[in-house]
Structure 1
Amino acid sequence: MAAAIPLSLLVLLLLGPGGWCLAEHPRDSLREELVITPLPSGDVAATFQFRTRWDSELQREGVWINLGRSSVMSSQGSSAPLSTSSTPPTRSLPLPPSNPWVWPMAGLSVLLKADRLFHTSYHSQAVHIRPVCRNARCTSISWELRQTLSVVFDAFITGQGKKDWSLFRMFSRTLTEPCPLASESRVYVDITNYNQDNETLEVHPSPTTTYQDVILGTRKTYAIYDLLDSAMINNSRNLNIQLKWKRPPENEAPPVPFLHAQRYVSGYGLQKGELSTLLYNTHPYRAFPVLLLDTVPWYLRLYVHTLTITSKGKENKP
């Protein structure tokens, strides 16, 4: 059965920041976030974003092999060998004595458990590096490293026939402490179609604040859980965000965003197999740019000459 997948989740990646729990320059900016979105199909999408920004310039030409031994760099010829070197950070966290190379996990990285992340219906990860202007005139720049991970859980199957979900049910872990070096560490939960007056649904714990924004023509509401707030975790020693249905929802069509997609495989055999992706834009007047990245199943053979694009009933030649 084709499931409606809201593409607004991809745009949401640009809203929040994040960062791995490792830094050594005092002016570094480390931010991390987790966005949880219940999908109309009943699945649950989770998007991690870790963003690191540092003010130091990247070394563009490598390191000479005699760096530190001599200050005369011109003595090396044009074909001198290059080498890379790394130094431990001047400020480090306490490390386990058994293995000094293993950093203790904290913050959102606690949820990154491989056997749970790869046992999902969808998995996507990306690494982006870009320059960021430090001022309006862009006379100096900083470098930003953004690492993202998106997974989709089938809450109905993993929940044994229930649509309830929680951090522990999805990741088999809960949040125990924020990243000590992160300037921001937050969890966002999409509660657009839910409110406190809805007797059929319960979100626990109650969020301390909410955030609203218009994503692809639809106003979204997000519950914000700030891990840097000491009261958020200290009250229960761990944070396990969960959504429970007090009674089964009525048989009514789930809300579908203006821009959504359906994808299914049909046909039979290698020659008659088809992979179809349908994009829908139900907005009354607005058009949206779409970048479609697809993963082809291993049992299908696709050819460029068989690609067809149909828009408004007319075929567009690529």
Structure 2
Amino acid sequence: MKLKTLDDPAPPPEKDRFQEELVIRPLHSGDTYASFQFRTLWDTDFLRGNKVSHYQLFPKSLGQVISKFSVSELHISFTQGYWRTMQWGQPFLPSPPGAELWVWFQDTVTDVDIAWKELTNVLSGIFCASLNFIDSTNTVQPSASFKPLGVGNVTDQRFLRYAVLPREIVFTENLTLWKKLLPCGTGLAVLMNSEKFFHSSFYSQALHITPVCQVRFHSMGAETDTERGV
């Protein structure tokens, strides 16, 4: 057995970290608002074209999506119900009913429309959603909104795509696949009961991938407003 001495080099720093948080807030209407936040900080660099082959906490399926389609930022949400601002105040993460997706591609992408179409098909399989129905008829290229949320140098609107499917129905399978992207099935995830969530007045689940100071940031959050007694 080898004993560690003061001359031994320090162990390498952790490449990724996982944090989770639950905020419960009573509302003036008598309802209860619960916000689950799951964050993975990963010290890697997709923007330089480095091929990542080892995954620990960050989900491999999302890492492959970022690498294959040269994604700089990705934001997706699935929402059921309408947020009543006058009764409940402002939500932590506002999102429209149905499915919403907006993506910033890296400036190395030569054909953004083709990359966007292929990306929506892949995400459709990952989340078991109808994102494959996103096409040119329901896709826009915003010119004055949806600025990058992370640290990045891509601000050319040509590399931004946005789409929403307001009639997308959110069901338990969406939540099941979303939870599988977490590094483990323990912790706060055990409190996310599908039956309770989908019988609430409002439910929303979202995933955000943004670059943060040379660190890839993967954030997953779910929020729900439940009626009294639920």
TM more than 0.5: no
Greater relative contact order, per chain length (Cα 8 Å cut-off, separation 6+): 2
TM-score of the superposed pair, with normalisation by structure 1: 0.25
TM-score of the superposed pair, with normalisation by structure 2: 0.35
Structure with the larger helix share:
2
